[in-house]
């Protein structure tokens, strides 16, 4: 879906949505990020998602494709999370933390599938990242938006999110 104000969009689930959002907020060409839920029933709450209602914690990434390609975004996504880990990223465990890429544009689906096929040889275990058409996206509660920026000294932010950001920045500096 192309929105003139916010370019193209892709929805990524790779563990805690705070990590994905904080990482992509630092990428040139990313215009806007937002955390939310998708993959299950419409209009869930954080509590229902945490109980395993079938929704996934995701980050909506709006980007300018004249500055960054979908392939590059996917590459960075695979840098900040483990695409071979089913329903788990680090200490975060549950269906809400599964690795998933939601698309709206069928052309993007082909790019995503080709990217995953190409990446498979880089991993000892099979890539388990799901590729699905976007369904029932719900923006997360306001206190989740820009969580890392609002709470940089919180323990989770220091121990889990900050190292992912450093890993991403090191990759970008290559």
Q: What is the rounded average pLDDT for all residues in the chain?
A: 94
The domains found in the chain, sorted by start residue, are 8-172 (3.30.1060.10)
pTM of the model: 0.93
Is 157 tagged catalytic? no
Residues 14-52: pLDDT tens digits? Answer: 999 999 999 999 999 999 999 999 999 999 999 999 999
Residues 67-112: pLDDT tens digits? Answer: 999 999 999 999 999 999 999 998 899 999 999 999 999 999 999 9
Integer angstrom CA distances of residue 86 from 13, 89, 104: 12, 8, 23
What is the average pLDDT across 44-71? 96
Confidence class of residue 174 from pLDDT cuts 50, 70 and 90? confident
Q: Active-site residue among 10, 16, 56, 74?
A: 16
């Amino acid at each position: 879906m192309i929105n003139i104000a916010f370019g193209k969009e892709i929805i990524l689930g790779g563990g805690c949505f705070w990590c994905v959002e904080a990482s992509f907020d630092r990428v040139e060409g990313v215009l806007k990020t937002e955390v939310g839920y998708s993959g299950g029933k419409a209009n869930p709450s954080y509590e229902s998602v945490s109980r395993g209602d079938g929704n996934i914690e995701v980050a909506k990434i709006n980007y300018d494709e004249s500055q960054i390609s979908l392939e590059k975004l996917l590459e960075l996504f695979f840098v900040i999370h483990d695409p071979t880990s089913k329903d788990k990223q680090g200490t975060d465990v549950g269906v809400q933390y599964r690795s998933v890429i939601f698309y709206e544009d069928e052309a993007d689906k082909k790019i995503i599938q080709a990217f995953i096929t190409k990446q498979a040889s880089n991993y000892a275990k099979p890539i388990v990242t799901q590729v699905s058409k976007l369904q029932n996206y719900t923006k997360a509660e306001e206190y989740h938006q820009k969580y890392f920026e609002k709470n940089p000294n919180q323990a989770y932010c220091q121990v889990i999110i900050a190292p992912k950001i450093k890993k991403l920045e090191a990759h970008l500096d290559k």
